[in-house]
Amino acid sequence: MAVALAAQLREGTKKSHTMAENTGFVSCFLKGVVDKASYRKLVADLFFVYTAMEEEIGKLRQQGHPVVGPVGFPELNRRETLEQDLAYYFGADWRSSVKATPAAEEYVARIHQIAQEAPELLVGHHYTRYIGDLSGGQILKNIAQKAMNLGEHDGLRFYEFEAIPDEKGFKASYRATLDALPIDQAMADRIVEEANHAFHLNMKMFQELEGNLVAAIGKVLFGFLTRRQRSGSTEVVAA
């Protein structure tokens, strides 16, 4: 008997979604404070995460897995766009320059683990990442573009879903696919629980980057105060 998985995922991850948005890195990002060095490290981490997901989900889709296969829409895949962004940020030899952080390694390990032990739970990871990317992609792209003074596509391909011209229609189809999956309520509960764990793993990646972001902000502030001191200004700096 099919369950209303789409609504359960949406409602069941609201708290985790809010917590992720309130991490220092994401909060600063949404306010337009983006450190390029930290951001490109995030792009590298996401490359390893999406590579793992797309390898595992792709195999299960080819095998005709009844739960994972239907949600493995190839038009959502991000690995190729992340490769383009990494080439922009690190150069043509980017593969020898990037390395997963400990949090990204933990995330990747979890994906491979459940692919072997309970592949149905990959649906929770798929929903958390891809639908989040599709829903907020254009907004995040605009913030990153303005904050880092980038060209229209430079280092921002990750947010572009060229194979999905109708975002609203696609998300409706995705929700219908989730609701039609052949799972019972017990499995639906486990998928929602895993989706919350996916948010937790994402937050750990963001938290790793916060130290870099704070250091970058501090450096800019120090430079600003030094310039003011040299110019002889005695005005109080606003908080």
pTM: 0.87
In the chain (239 residues long), the average pLDDT of successive 10-residue segments reads 89 94 87 89 97 98 98 97 97 96 97 98 97 89 92 92 95 98 97 98 91 48 45 41
236 found inside a domain: no
Kindly report the CATH number assigned to the domain that includes residue 87: 1.20.910.10
Name residue, tokens 């595992």. Answer: 56
The pLDDT of residue 232 is: 54
Specify the pLDDT at position 159.
Answer: 94
Alpha-carbon dihedral angle through residues 191, 162, 135, 95, given to the nearest 10 degrees: 70
Is 237 domain-assigned? no
Quick check: is 77 in a domain? yes
Q: What is the DSSP string of 16-79?
A: HHHHHHTSHHHHHHHTT---HHHHHHHHHHHHHHHHHHHHHHHHHHHTT-TTTGGG--GGG--H
pLDDT of 239 reads: 30
pLDDT digits (tens, 9 = 90+) for 63-100: 999 999 999 999 999 999 999 999 999 999 999 999 99
pLDDT of 11-26, one tens digit each? Answer: 999 999 999 988 888 8
| pLDDT number for residue 121 | 98
**What's the domain count of the chain?**
1
| pLDDT at position 225 | 43
Angle between helix axes 36-62 and 79-90 (nearest 10 degrees) is 150
pLDDT at 221: 41
pLDDT at 152: 85
Predicted pLDDT of residue 228: 47
- Residue 107's pLDDT is 98
Domain assignment of residue 102, yes or no:
yes
Q: What are the two backbone dihedrals, phi and then psi, of residue 235, each rounded to the nearest 5 degrees?
A: -65, 150
For 113, phi then psi, to 5°, come to -65, -50
Q: Is residue 238 part of a domain?
A: no
DSSP state at residue 127: I
Residue 97: predicted pLDDT: 93
Alpha-carbon distance 194 to 178, whole Å?
15
Structural domain of 19: 5-231
Instruction: Read off the amino acid at residue 237.
Output: V
